[in-house]
Chains A and B, each alone.
Chain A
């Protein structure tokens, strides 16, 4: 099993550009999450999904959109990137139903200039 994978690993964007981050999991997990991690701020939840076709807002959703068209994939979109979105983005998943171990992807380091 590859577990949770993220594409790309690194990206540099100019202000106003758009991009999509892809998260994929091969564990048949129901729940998937996108977090951003900034120094001293811990892990902040952007959006999450509790099943194919569902999405919900987390703690810091503004400026981001998500889609979960297939159970194994969770996409995070930035329509018009801003320097404040410079961060490390982590995707995670867990099997859902009851509280269980959450698995993280390797992260995407995004810089917006």
Chain B
């Protein structure tokens, strides 16, 4: 089955700096890669996603890049703000008959004012 590795497990940045979180996946048939943000005590919520036919997607201060050859994808947050502090999860949806997301273990991002 699919295996998703996420790094780093914790990341601390100063307000205004950029943050990058990286994930690798194992199943070359995976075709959908969402990123979820989970604030303390809340449910995970989708912040951006990318499909395998696209190399990069941007939404205001967040962007995701996908390298299918290397089987890795990354989340980039620019001009970080304290409200960006949360746990971020990457995930991969396997192609074919696979009906589920496989999640990375998460990255705790702390943005220091």
Point out residues on A near B: beta carbons under 8 Å. 31, 33, 40-43, 45, 48, 50, 56, 58, 90, 96, 99-102, 104-107
Contact = CB atoms under 8 A, between A and B. Distances in A.
A101 B46 CA distance: 7
Interface in B19-73: 31-32, 34, 42-46, 49, 51
Interface in B62-113: 89, 93, 99-101, 103-106
Interface residues of B, number: 20
Given A40-B105, A42-B89, A96 B99 contact: yes
What are the 4 closest A-B residue pairs judged by CB atoms, nearest first? A99-B32, A42-B105, A99-B93, A104-B43
Interface of B: 9, 31-32, 34, 42-46, 49, 51, 89, 93, 99-101, 103-106
A70 B101 CA distance: 23
B89 A48 contact: no
Contacts, number: 41
Q: Is the interface of A mostly helix, strand, loop or mixed?
A: loop
A106 B31 contact: no
B32 A106 contact: no
Given A33-B100, A42-B106, A50-B99, A99 B51 contact: yes
Contacts of B45: 104
A106 B51 CA distance: 27
A102 B34 contact: yes
Contacts of B105: 40-42
B43 to A, nearest CB: 4
